[in-house]
Amino acid sequence: MKEEELSASEDKPPSQVPLGEPSVLTLPIGQVRPMFPQEQWYNWQWQMANRLRSHEDLISLLRLSPLQAESYKSLIKTFHYSITPYYLSLINWHDPKDPIRMQCVPDPKEMNYAVVGNADPLEEEKDMQVPGLVHRYPDRVLALVTGMCAMYCRHCTRKRIWNEGEWMRTRKELAVMVSYIRKTRKVREVIISGGDPLLMNLDTLDWFLGELRRIHHVEVLRIGTRVPVVLPMRITEELTTMLKQHRPLWINTQFNHYREITLESTAACDRIQSAGIPISNQSVLLKDVNDSTETMIALCHALQRIMVRPYYLYQCDPVAGAEHFRTNVFKGIQIIEEMRGHTGGLCIPSFVVDAPGGGGKIPLQPFYLLSIGEQEIMLRNYEGLMIRYFNPKENEPPRASSRSRRNRKTESVVYCDNSRQIRRHKKCIVDISHPGKDILPLDYAE
């Protein structure tokens, strides 16, 4: 459905609700938040109505010269933009590489890379069974229910749908998806995404979730949304009360930097969790935004504090217009390597590459399994210690069961090639493939 059709629709987006409030651009940059009364600032419809979206907004925001203004005109025509006053208020304008700014403010590099990569790198369109419904994995489907977002992330994998304007599917269109899911009995999970499903008309979303919930073989619903990050005031009690009715429901969101975890976004997550809905986080690894171990640890620690599970760290997809955000794949592996052992496992996401051409998610890990023998494997721990580990045969009682409690406790550390570490671990050098002959001579270890 195109933008002009929206006015006649039940799904009229909140961005078109005429609140008649002043533009944020009448205010000095960096002083957006304090200038508005709280009842406006915390009203999500006010935030939507006052998003920065136009060429004129951008000229004022970036103080563009006429020449620069011209290049930005074609840029936002190709890849449109919108920024909520809330998300805008998080930018540190003294830093040209501010991680918040890089995610939301259009950058001429997008045009430089407009022909690099692919408009639809994951080939979602190819796997659409009915309009908007991607069925790739056997037991789950992805429903793209809207093309509208509160803020358009400059690295978005679905930039291709932006030039269709801001649209939402009608009940009639959603009913076609429901009908496909109803007759496809192997589907046990429906992932609802877009665009941002939490911007849909509440009655329509309630109806859609209810229809899905009524399908016997659909066990779980999942919603992908960035609203808690870029428009946390949208998480109202009315919304969470409605969502609560459709559990088991999971929410996946996308915090990419620890500075996005504010009082507002924390409160939004708390409202969702208080409705009994768990939240997982799917960060995207973005050059100069979060591609350092320190930033990723700070983000994941902050997520753990607000009880949001760091679930995935995605390699940025090769999407047209976003090449400047892409890091070398080894950067992601290195970050995970440097996190492992230095922070708890609950804080470490899985690093995944979403394979081009519809190949699906492929997890990439540092190398911890060094060799595989019939009875033992060689492992490496986070400090570089090499560890020989007895590998029980299938269907045989594990050898460890006949060993003493002392042996079981010390079964893992074997030897390494670092003399300082060997000294530190000397006391627990154990040959686990020969229980009863515990302590290895040091020369063997060396």
118 forms bridges with which residues in the sheet?
A: 319
Which residue from 153, 143, 327 is spatially nearest to 231, judged by alpha carbons? 153
How far apart CA 287 and CA 331 sit, in angstroms, is 10
| Smallest distance from ligand SF4 to CB 152, Å | 5
| Smallest distance from ligand SF4 to CB 318, Å | 15
Q: Which two tokens stand for residue 423?
A: 């000294």
- 153 belongs to the catalytic site: yes
Of 104, 156, 269, 416, the catalytic one is 156
Kind plus residue range of the DSSP H or E element containing 285: strand 279-285
Of 11, 113, 153, 160, the catalytic one is 153
- 156 belongs to the catalytic site: yes
How far apart CA 140 and CA 252 sit, in angstroms, is 15
Task: Give the range of 111-119, 189-197, 308-316, 359-367 binding ligand SF4 by CB under 6 A.
Answer: 189-197
The binder of ligand SF4 chosen from 153, 200, 251, 277 (CB under 6 A) = 153
Report yes or no: 299 and 258 within 8 Å, Cβ to Cβ.
yes
Tally of CB atoms within 10 A around 28? 8
Instruction: CB nearer to ligand SF4: give 269 or 432.
Output: 269
- 203 belongs to the catalytic site: no
Please give the full DSSP string across 336-357, using - where no structure is assigned.
Answer: HHHHBTTB-GGG-PEEEEEETT
Instruction: CB nearer to ligand SF4: give 153 or 181.
Output: 153
Name the amino acid, one letter, at 94: H
Of 104, 149, 300, 347, the catalytic one is 149
191 binding ligand SF4? (CB under 6 A): no
Task: Give the range of 44-52, 194-202, 310-318, 344-352 binding ligand SF4 by CB under 6 A.
Answer: 194-202
156 binding ligand SF4? (CB under 6 A): yes
Which residue from 212, 214, 244, 247 is spatially nearest to 142, judged by alpha carbons? 212
Report yes or no: 171 and 157 within 8 Å, Cβ to Cβ.
no
Peptide bond into 248 cis (omega under 30): yes
The binder of ligand SF4 chosen from 11, 57, 120, 196 (CB under 6 A) = 196
388 binding ligand SF4? (CB under 6 A): no
The binder of ligand SF4 chosen from 83, 149, 212, 296 (CB under 6 A) = 149
How far apart CA 334 and CA 291 sit, in angstroms, is 10
**DSSP helix/strand/coil, 304:** helix
- Burial of residue 3, with CB atoms counted within 10 A of its CB: 0-12 exposed, 13-18 middle, 19 or more buried: middle
195 binding ligand SF4? (CB under 6 A): yes
- 444 belongs to the catalytic site: no
Tally of CB atoms within 10 A around 162? 20
- 347 belongs to the catalytic site: no
- 196 belongs to the catalytic site: no
- 354 belongs to the catalytic site: yes
312 binding ligand SF4? (CB under 6 A): no
257 binding ligand SF4? (CB under 6 A): no
Report yes or no: 67 and 74 within 8 Å, Cβ to Cβ.
no
Instruction: Count the site residues for ligand SF4 by CB under 6 A.
Output: 9
226 binding ligand SF4? (CB under 6 A): yes
319 binding ligand SF4? (CB under 6 A): no
For residue 186, the 8-state DSSP code is T
Instruction: CB nearer to ligand SF4: give 198 or 348.
Output: 198
Instruction: CB nearer to ligand SF4: give 43 or 283.
Output: 283
Pairing label, strands 249-253, 220-224: parallel
| Smallest distance from ligand SF4 to CB 111, Å | 18
- Burial of residue 10, with CB atoms counted within 10 A of its CB: 0-12 exposed, 13-18 middle, 19 or more buried: exposed
The binder of ligand SF4 chosen from 36, 152, 255, 325 (CB under 6 A) = 152
| Smallest distance from ligand SF4 to CB 198, Å | 10
Q: Which two tokens stand for residue 196?
A: 């941002």
25 binding ligand SF4? (CB under 6 A): no
How far apart CA 153 and CA 334 sit, in angstroms, is 25
- 417 belongs to the catalytic site: no
Task: Give the range of 6-14, 146-154, 179-187, 338-346 binding ligand SF4 by CB under 6 A.
Answer: 146-154
Question: Where do contacts with ligand SF4 occur on this chain (CB under 6 A)?
Answer: 149, 152-153, 156, 158, 194-196, 226
For the annotated catalytic residues, the residue numbers are 136-137, 140, 149, 153, 156, 158, 317, 354, 361
